[in-house]
Amino acid sequence: MTQLHEELVDDPGTPGCEVLVVGCGNLLRGDDGVGPILIRHLWERGIPEGVQIVDGGTAGMDVAFRMRGARRVVLVDASRTGAEPGTIYRVPGPALADLPPLEGLHTHAFRWDHALAFAHWLLKDAYPDDITVFLIEAGCLDLGAELSPAVRQAMEEVIALIERDFLAELRGSTAPAGLRVEFTEDGYLRLDAELAARYFPADAAAAIRRGGELWLMPLRGPQGGGLLLKQRNAAGDRCVLVREVLEDRIPVGVRDAVWDETQGALRIPLDLET
């Protein structure tokens, strides 16, 4: 394997990133697919600059190549320890020293520990030193089954942990300055393509009036209700109908806006007369 190792290491691969999030598992086996499904949910919510996400259920050994140059790595997978389904284990780097042997490794059974073992062999001194693994105890592993309620809830909790501990700082540091939106005479709020893609990737939002502001908060998809962001033009700009929320008092024109990371909302001053 020495010659193979030298050939692989000589490949420059992809450039490094601040955070690499990998979801391992088999989408066809119920709760075993929680890792790849979590990756898809992260994608829908929007990924800040400096973050890469990988579906380890399909990428297989490519996961190891993606680890090269990553400052922090997060892996998510299902576990089968006999504990209550939905139990969450957070395994920090120092506890990951004992990795399985590479003999017999194949992509049809490529789990989180296999990914780390292969990356450790491949990358040597370039192996990341900041790695965290989240394991979610699986319940139903039937072929073609959906995630069980307990595992789905646990997945949401892990997403919240990843957002808080690994992504929040990057979102705050890469928020674009000078956000601007436009209220139109027919009661729509227009967002340019970059703003919409960054904060409203699922094209769904909830809108409320709070004080003298309109708050627009992203939802994970139209199935959760709320307002739809419709494509306005070929450039990808979006518009959302806010007439009812503002009770037909539309402050027509361009307005400055601020993304509030703490509240998870786009806040737009209205300056309406009372």
Question: Domain ranges in the chain?
Answer: 2-174, 179-269
3-state per-residue secondary structure call for 21-72: EEECCCCCCHHHHHHHHHHHHHHHHCCCCCEEEEEHHHHCCHHHHHHCCCCE
User: Are the CB atoms for 119 and 67 separated by under 8 Å?
Assistant: yes
Tell me how far apart the alpha carbons of residues 201 and 193 are, in angstroms, rounded to a whole number: 10
Helix or strand (DSSP H, E) at 207: strand 204-210
Name the β-bridge partners of 191: 238
Tell me how far apart the alpha carbons of residues 25 and 7 are, in angstroms, rounded to a whole number: 28
Residue 234 corresponds to which tokens in the numbers above? 């070929």
Tell me how far apart the alpha carbons of residues 235 and 259 are, in angstroms, rounded to a whole number: 22
Query: For the ranges 2-6, 91-95, 164-168, 223-227, which has the lowest average pLDDT?
Result: 2-6
Candidates 3.40.50.1450, 1.10.10.60, 3.40.50.300, 3.10.20.600; CATH matching 2-174: 3.40.50.1450
Q: In terms of pTM, does the model score above 0.75? A: no
Please compute the mean of the pLDDT values over residues 151-161 and round it to a whole number. Answer: 92
User: Are the CB atoms for 23 and 38 separated by under 8 Å?
Assistant: yes
DSSP E strands: which ranges in 56-203?
A: 72-79, 88-92, 131-137, 179-183, 188-191
pLDDT exceeds cutoff 80 at 267: yes
Helix (H, G, I), strand (E, B) or coil at 76: strand
pLDDT digits (tens, 9 = 90+) for 74-123: 999 999 999 999 999 998 765 555 555 555 555 545 577 777 877 777 88
Helix (H, G, I), strand (E, B) or coil at 95: helix
Name the β-bridge partners of 91: 133
Tell me how far apart the alpha carbons of residues 184 and 207 are, in angstroms, rounded to a whole number: 16
Closest by CA to 37, choosing from 133, 126, 159, is 159
At 149 the pLDDT is: 94
pLDDT, the chain, mean: 82
Residue 119 corresponds to which tokens in the numbers above? 């990356």
pLDDT digits (tens, 9 = 90+) for 42-64: 887 778 888 998 888 766 567 77
